[in-house]
Amino acid sequence: MAPLNRGAFFKNERNMSCTFQFAKAPEQLLKALHDVIPNTDLLAQQLPETPISLWLIPPVFPTDRLDDEVIRRIWNETPYWIFCWASGLAMAQWLLAEPHHVKDKVVLDFGAGSGVVAIAAKMAGAKRVICCDIDPISLESCRENALLNNVELEYLDDLYKSEQVDVLLAADVLYDQCNRFFLDEFLKFAPEVWVADSRVKNFSHPQYLKIDERSATTWPDLDEAKEFRNVSFYRTK
């Protein structure tokens, strides 16, 4: 994910998705959000070019609420699940447009975050979809977003507890150099692995091939540099 800064937060109102008024955002998610960013809310928002809705931070957020301490907490304790990151959105759009990749298969979404990729896989006809994330609040976000979209998912807090699956999906997990070793680990759990990432444009690995590049925007829009709006897709050979 890109570094978060005061100037980048929600100034941009272009490409607005739909927001919906529900009685109340999930209490556990609100509490986790307020621990990092007080005085804000979660809104159910339909993502661009998809039927998927997620509980996300408002698309327009007053930057004067972000004092230095809040910025520090966001930097150190980023609640990734309050955004739909560009690579996750691109992968979700791709799955819905090309459902044959997951139809009737058992799928694992690694680093699930908000659950957007898992939800798309289930909507695309996957037999079973497992959300895998080490963050318990992210898994709770996945549960609430699954309810919001009326899909049934499964949840796992450790990749190494996973069964063998047909397809493993990973979006926006290579942003940290320390995570690159997962490219080898994924191969232990699935014969077919798809990786989408906007931070790593090309990487050299004997088992992966770059096959596509798509444009997408993190939602709510962080006004990221253009280079981070181009998402590269990689697949096992």
The CATH number of the structural domain formed by 86-236 is 3.40.50.150
Give the domain ranges of the chain. 6-82, 86-236
* pLDDT score at 76: 75
* pLDDT score at 228: 76
pTM of the model: 0.87
Q: How many CB atoms lie within 10 A of CB 35?
A: 12
Residues 6+ apart with CB under 8 A from 204: none
Cα dihedral 53, 21, 154, 135 sign: positive
* pLDDT score at 175: 78
Question: How distant is the alpha carbon of residue 159 from its chain centre?
Answer: 17
* pLDDT score at 60: 73
Residue-level pLDDT, tens digit, the chain, 237 residues: 443 433 334 333 344 455 555 558 999 999 999 988 888 899 999 999 999 999 999 887 655 566 777 767 766 777 889 999 999 999 999 999 999 999 999 999 999 999 999 999 999 999 999 999 999 999 999 999 999 999 999 999 999 999 999 999 999 998 777 888 999 999 999 999 999 998 876 678 999 999 999 999 999 887 777 777 889 999 999
* pLDDT score at 63: 57
The closest alpha carbon to 88, from 132, 119, 57, belongs to 119
Sheet holding 208-215, edge to edge: 154-156, 128-132, 106-110, 167-171, 192-197, 230-236, 208-215
